[in-house]
Chains A and B, each alone.
Chain A
Amino acid sequence: NAGVTQTPKFRILKIGQSMTLQCTQDMNHNYMYWYRQDPGMGLKLIYYSVGAGITDKGEVPNGYNVSRSTTEDFPLRLELAAPSQTSVYFCASSAGVTGFSPLHFGNGTRLTVT
């Protein structure tokens, strides 16, 4: 049972480089989310999607972009990476509105920007 799969697990970027964090889920969930987690700061929502073709900004969207062309995939794009984007990134999905259907998390991508 794959659940939510994120790749890569680790990545080091130089300032100004770009990359895409991949996220795919095999549970046919409509709702998908990207969070970042900084030490001692909890999880902050970057972007979310309520279905294919629909995305919206979360609390901390600046410097990121997303797309949702299929139900399964929800990639997160970093353009012009900055040291402030050093963080652990979690993708999550849920079957319905979040509170009534718990989030299923991927194992995270640890990104360092130097």
Chain B
Amino acid sequence: EDKVVQSPLSLVVHEGDTVTLNCSYEVTNFRSLLWYKQEKKAPTFLFMLTSSGIEKKSGRLSSILDKKELFSILNITATQTGDSAIYLCAGLGGGADGLTFGKGTHLIIQP
């Protein structure tokens, strides 16, 4: 059975701090790993990673995949209160049956 494990499950930091969110996966016939940000409603797409060692970057957010060690990290630098959200990691395997999601990391940024 495919499994995606995120850590920590919750994290409280102060505005301006840098955070690293972790995601490990065991996904049969792994093809890609995705990060989503979920605020009050629907998850919104952040990154899709398919190749090892290539950093994807969007503003203060960046992510990288290690296919040998089966994990990914999501970094957020100079955090802002608007970064407060649940960050979901998901892995795609060989089937068409969608993604296997982790439980999410609940990030709270205090002013």
Contacts and interface: CB of A to CB of B under 8 A. Distances in A.
A74 interface: no
A42 B31 CA distance: 20
Interface string B88-111: 101010001111011110000000
A10 to B, nearest CB: 12
Q: Bin chain A's interface residue count.
A: 20 to 34
A92 B44 CA distance: 11
B104 A99 contact: no
B104 to A, nearest CB: 6
B102 A99 contact: no
A100 B50 CA distance: 9
B85 interface: no
A99 B45 contact: no
A20 interface: no
B41 A100 contact: no
B88 A43 contact: yes
Interface string B43-64: 1110010100000000000000
B96 A106 contact: no
Contacts of B32: 99-100
Contact of B98 (A42, A58, A100): A58
Contact of A58 (B42, B97, B102): B97
B98 A98 contact: yes
Given A40-B9, A50-B96, A99 B42 contact: no
B17 to A, nearest CB: 23
B34 interface: yes
Interface of A: 4, 31, 33, 35, 40-45, 48, 50, 56, 58, 90, 92, 97-100, 102-108
Nearest first, the 7 closest Cβ-Cβ pairs linking A and B are: A99-B92, A99-B32, A105-B42, A102-B45, A43-B101, A42-B101, A42-B103
